[in-house]
Amino acid sequence: MAAQLSTREEVVDTLMQVFRDHGYDGASLSILSEATGLGRSSLYHYFPNGKADMGAAVLVRASEFVRQNMLAPLQEEGDPQARIARFASALDTFYSGGKSACLTNVFAVGEAGELFGQRLGERLQLLIDALAGVACDGGLTEAEAQRRAEDVVISVHGALVVSHALDDTATFRRIVAELPGRLLGGAA
């Protein structure tokens, strides 16, 4: 059994990794208990509604990181290239250079999709809108900025799935390196 974790944040971080490794549906209470070092009763103490509360806590934690480290730089004033570079760096950190599975994929299918799909869609739209704002600041029309922002989100999440499936982060690293050009290339 894993060493018992001392804070709720540590437990949620561990749960996030378990969901990335096993998927939401595949993460049994036994696996979650083993990974956190907490017995089932302790897990239910932290998360009274069981795995649904655990998944919600993971999404809140991920959303906090995204808001502070990805959305905030995109929404700042200043050079669009520098803003997208800060976003790309945070994206790379959050996904461990492409080694960590895509949380969107984990929480968009099966039981998790039913529980969290709408919330996940809303958060993806916030990201798309923030990326589109940077592209508009870079000189693109609103329609082109929106299209490119959607393409960037599709490329990133697809690259995570491919990198995870091939057990090779090269695709993810390439997409992250190409982000400024994909979003802003050819802008006025």
pLDDT per position as a tens digit, 122-180:
999 999 999 999 999 999 999 999 999 999 999 999 999 999 899 999 999 999 999 99
Residue range of the domain that includes 170: 8-184
pLDDT of residue 7: 87
Residue 139 within any structural domain of the chain: yes
Instruction: Burial-class residue 12 by CB neighbours within 10 Å (0-12, 13-18, 19+).
Output: buried
Domains in the chain: how many in total?
A: 1
186 or 98: which leads in pLDDT? 98
Can you give the pLDDT at residue 2? 52
Q: Looking at residue 5, what is its pLDDT?
A: 56
Question: Is 1 among the domain residues?
Answer: no
> Residue 186's pLDDT is what?
75
Please give the average per-residue pLDDT across 46-60, as a whole number. 96
Give the pLDDT score at 1. Answer: 47
pTM above 0.85, yes or no: yes
Average pLDDT of the residues of the chain:
93
- Whether residue 3 is contained in a domain is answered as no
Residue 100 lies in a domain: yes
Q: What is the pLDDT of residue 62?
A: 95
* 83 Cβ contact partners less than 8 Å away, ≥ 6 residues apart: 73, 74, 76, 134, 137
Residue 96: which CATH number? 1.10.357.10
* Alpha helix ranges (H) inside 27-109: 29-36, 40-46, 51-66, 72-75, 80-94, 103-108
pLDDT tens string 88-98: 999 999 999 99
